[in-house]
């Protein structure tokens, strides 16, 4: 067992914020009962914000960021996991208040871990990662119109920010459900990729960036919004009676300029998606559905794999909207 490992370490002294790759030993970890050798992590928008300046999410320094990871248990103080188990973790405030995935080793509380489905690899688990996990939560929120709320069948669904990590997988999963998916994107050169994922139609982001009408023409039975701001306001305005809007992102702004009209005239449901603090039972359910709903061979066409050093150079590109698809972090690269 190697006690030394590499990790990205964030630190802050006064106004001075730093990020660097350091060699650490296991004494760095003060809590947790399961030690995991991490194979893969990912770069999510929240990760990029934390890498920039802590994003007011990190409370104690020094700190290892990275809100998701997959890997193999090497030490365990609980009967729930044993050495050799492949595990995955998304959310649960790992990478925020607990040590995260940008590290070759991590020690976490056992209740935060989920056993990886045997049909997928650890690499595939992180090709999905927090982004894909969130996509599945959004897709099942849309499906709830039929199954939980006993409403009409879902036909037409809009996915905003469709070339991003969440959006691209949402397009795939919703199309697997049999829905007609319209993908909204600002990247016209990605139209063929989105159609390969299952999108029936492509619309330009600029069509959703103006001020929303109180009630627009009803176009969508469901919406997965990864953008926020005016894009979300327009999507709500265009949602059909009793439609569901699953909101999970704020890259386009945190303010929502809308009215009560879509909600009280059309019965639109605005469903906030939180992938961080959901129950372990729900996390296990979502991971159990992955094999049937995700085509990893297709997703691999839009995956970029980086090491820790490269990660420090690429995260600013995500903040400026210059990345697409899923960025995978290989801890052994």
At 105-125, the pLDDT tens digits run: 999 999 999 999 999 999 999
Q: Confirm if 232 and 256 have CB atoms less than 8 A apart.
A: yes
Q: What is the pLDDT of residue 2?
A: 67
> What would the two tokens of residue 131 be?
């982004």
Block residue for tokens 């926020």: 228
Q: What is the pLDDT of residue 240?
A: 97
What value does the mean pLDDT of the chain take?
94
> What would the two tokens of residue 167 be?
């959006």
The mean per-residue pLDDT over the stretch 224-253 comes to 96
Residues of the chain with CATH 3.90.180.10: 4-116+296-330
Percentages (nearest 5) of helix, strand, coil residues in the chain: 35, 30, 35
Predicted confidence band of residue 299 (pLDDT cuts 50, 70, 90): confident
Block residue for tokens 């299952």: 198
d(CA 112, CA 73): 13
Nearest alpha-carbon partner for 248 in 40, 45, 43: 45
Q: What is the pLDDT of residue 1?
A: 54
d(CA 24, CA 7): 7
> What would the two tokens of residue 235 be?
């999507």
Q: Is a pLDDT exceeding 90 seen at residue 285?
A: yes
Q: What is the pLDDT of residue 308?
A: 97
Q: Confirm if 305 and 279 have CB atoms less than 8 A apart.
A: no
Nearest alpha-carbon partner for 258 in 221, 223, 228: 228
CATH 3.40.190.10 given to domain 131-272: no
Q: What is the pLDDT of residue 190?
A: 87
Q: What is the pLDDT of residue 264?
A: 97
Nearest alpha-carbon partner for 202 in 186, 182, 188: 182
Q: Is a pLDDT exceeding 60 seen at residue 176?
A: yes
d(CA 300, CA 304): 8
Residues of the chain with CATH 3.40.50.720: 131-272
Q: Is a pLDDT exceeding 80 seen at residue 324?
A: no
H/E element, 40: strand 34-43
Using the Cα atoms of residue 66, residue 72, residue 74 and residue 80 in order, give the sign of their dihedral.
positive
CA angle 36, 70, 328 (to 5 degrees): 130
Nearest alpha-carbon partner for 110 in 154, 137, 143, 80: 80
**pTM of the predicted model as reported, rounded to 2 decimal places:** 0.90
Give the chain's radius of gyration (CA, Å): 20
H/E element, 309: helix 308-319
Overall fold of domain 4-116+296-330: Quinone Oxidoreductase; Chain A, domain 1 (3.90.180)
Nearest alpha-carbon partner for 205 in 222, 218, 191, 186: 186
């Amino acid at each position: 067992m190697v006690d030394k490992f590499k990790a990205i370490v964030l630190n802050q002294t006064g106004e001075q914020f730093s990020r660097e790759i350091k060699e650490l030993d296991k004494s760095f970890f003060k809590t947790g009962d399961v030690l995991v050798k991490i194979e893969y992590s990912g770069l999510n928008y929240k990760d990029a914000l934390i890498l920039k300046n802590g994003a007011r999410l990190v409370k104690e320094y020094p700190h290892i960021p990275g809100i998701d990871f997959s890997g193999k248990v090497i030490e365990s103080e609980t009967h729930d996991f044993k050495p050799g188990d492949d595990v995955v973790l998304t959310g649960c405030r790992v990478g925020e208040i607990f040590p995260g995935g940008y590290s070759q080793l991590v020690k976490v509380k056992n209740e935060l871990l989920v056993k990886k489905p045997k049909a997928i690899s650890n690499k595939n688990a992180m090709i999905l990662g927090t982004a894909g996990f969130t996509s599945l939560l959004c897709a099942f929120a849309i499906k709830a119109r039929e199954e939980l709320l006993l409403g009409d069948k879902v036909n037409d669904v809009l996915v905003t920010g469709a070339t991003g990590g969440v959006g691209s997988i949402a397009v795939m999963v919703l199309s697997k459900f049999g829905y007609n998916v319209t993908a909204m994107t600002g990247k016209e050169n990605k139209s063929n990729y989105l159609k390969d994922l299952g999108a029936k139609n492509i619309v330009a982001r600029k069509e959703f960036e103006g001020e929303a009408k109180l009630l627009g023409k009803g176009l969508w039975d469901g919406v997965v919004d990864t953008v926020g701001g005016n894009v979300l306001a327009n999507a709500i305005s265009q949602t059909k009676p009793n439609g569901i809007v699953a909101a999970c992102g704020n890259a386009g702004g945190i303010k929502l300029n809308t009215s009560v009209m879509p909600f009280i005239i059309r019965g639109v449901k605005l469903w906030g998606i939180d992938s961080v603090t959901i129950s372990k039972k729900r996390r296990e359910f979502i991971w159990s559905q992955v094999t049937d709903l995700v085509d990893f061979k297709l997703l691999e066409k839009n995956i970029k794999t980086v090491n820790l050093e490269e990660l420090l150079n690429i995260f600013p590109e995500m903040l400026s909207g210059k990345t697409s698809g899923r960025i995978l972090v290989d801890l052994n690269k």
